[in-house]
Copies of this chain bind each other. A is one copy, B any other.
Amino acid sequence: MKAQKISRLGYALLGLLRQRPSSGYDLRKIFSSTAMKTYSDSPGAVYPALRRLEQQGLIRGSLEHGSGLRRRQIFHHTPKGLAELKKWIVRPITQDDLARRDLEVLLRFAFSEEVVGPVASVQLLKSLQAELVVHLAVLSEQLAAARSKMSISGRLAFECGLRGCESWLEWTRYAIATYEKQEKGGKS
């Protein structure tokens, strides 16, 4: 009865709605015009997703009675929605997150500071860092094993993946350092 799953799009919407109550149209604009193009801006994806979130009690919509009478529904998150968002963000990072779920981890991190606070953000980074180290080791091993059997483009593609991981790892260090500097500076 309870925990039916939330799709990637669902989490993206939930996170955005926590930042600022918005209409479906607003959200679609974000997906079509910003760097969040990984998410579908099509009405056939967004509106049903919002409906599902509402049915699960994670968001609530209210009709806006602004100047014009053009109907426009503004959604905002509920306490339950915020709780789900938190749960999603602080989930321990797995190898699976690195191998399959393309950039879902990054979205979780992007939302993390405002939803669960900077301490949790750093924790997330450290968890990610640890998994990346493992993942890198696995990839390196696989490359070494398969190298001789690959075409040049095959090997290069593999190396691209490896470099991407290394770049991520370097980024986690930079990100952690950024937070630590922040802490030393103004605690405001």
Interface residues of A (CB under 8 A from B): 34-35, 37-38, 96, 99-100, 102-103, 106-107, 109-114, 118, 121, 139, 142, 146, 151-154, 156-161, 163-164, 166-168, 170-171, 174-175, 178-179, 182
Instruction: Specify which chain B residues have a CB less than 8 angstroms from the CB of A110 in the assembled complex.
Output: 153-154, 156-158
Protomer copies: 2
Query: Closest approach, in angstroms, between the C-beta of A127 and any C-beta of chain B?
Result: 14
Residues B160 and A171 in contact, CB atoms below 8 Å apart = yes
Contact of A156 among B139, B142, B167, B175 (CB under 8 A): B175
- Alpha-carbon gap, A63 to B112, bound state (A): 52
A153-B111, A179-B152 are contacts. A164–B159 as well, Cβ < 8 Å? no
Query: Closest approach, in angstroms, between the C-beta of A70 and any C-beta of chain B?
Result: 27
Residues A154 and B113 in contact, CB atoms below 8 Å apart = yes
7 chain-A/chain-B pairs, Cβ below 8 angstroms: A102-B103, A110-B153, A113-B152, A114-B153, A118-B153, A156-B178, A164-B167
- Other A-B contacts than A112-B153, A113-B152, 17 sampled, CB-CB below 8 A, are A35-B99, A35-B158, A35-B161, A106-B157, A106-B160, A107-B157, A109-B156, A110-B156, A113-B153, A113-B154, A114-B154, A121-B152, A121-B153, A156-B175, A159-B171, A160-B171, A166-B167
Identify whether the interface residues of A are mostly helix, strand, loop, or mixed: helix
Instruction: Specify which chain B residues have a CB less than 8 angstroms from the CB of A171 in the assembled complex.
Output: 156, 159-160, 163
Instruction: Specify which chain B residues have a CB less than 8 angstroms from the CB of A161 in the assembled complex.
Output: 35, 103, 106
* A159 to chain B: closest residue by CB: B171
